[in-house]
Amino acid sequence: MKPHGYWTEERILDEISKIDKYISVPEIRRKNSSLYYAITKYKLFDKVYSILGRTGNRYNKCIYSYEFPDNTVYVGLTYNIEERQKNRDS
């Protein structure tokens, strides 16, 4: 746990810039709630999105399907097909 006052704008942006540590804002929210809270507190979403890129929104989504060997099909909806594929393969 980070001490109170640990997160500064510089530390936040440095943490976000670490290659392959985070791929999206929702992932930051899941993996590091104190970092997400600091991004919210300092209103840094525009800077974070400029580093990570936007992965989608409630209007920009993808419908996908996976077919299984027993000929069943799973159909889903995602805002980030790359992250969905990565999670499926792990």
Q: What is the pLDDT of residues 53-78, one digit of tens each?
A: 876 677 778 888 999 999 999 999 88
Q: What is the rounded distance in angstroms from the CA atom of residue 88 to the CA atom of residue 15?
A: 26
Confidence of residue 40 (pLDDT cuts 50, 70, 90): very high
Tell me the torsion sign for CA atoms 74, 79, 85, 90: negative
Q: Enumerate the H helices of 9-69 as residue ranges.
A: 9-17, 25-31, 33-42, 45-52
Give the pair of three-digit tokens for residue 13: 């942006």
C-alpha of 49 from chain center? 10
Across 44-48, average pLDDT: 93
Residue 47 is predicted with a pLDDT of: 94
Mean predicted confidence (pLDDT) in 14-37: 89
What is the model's pLDDT at position 90?
62
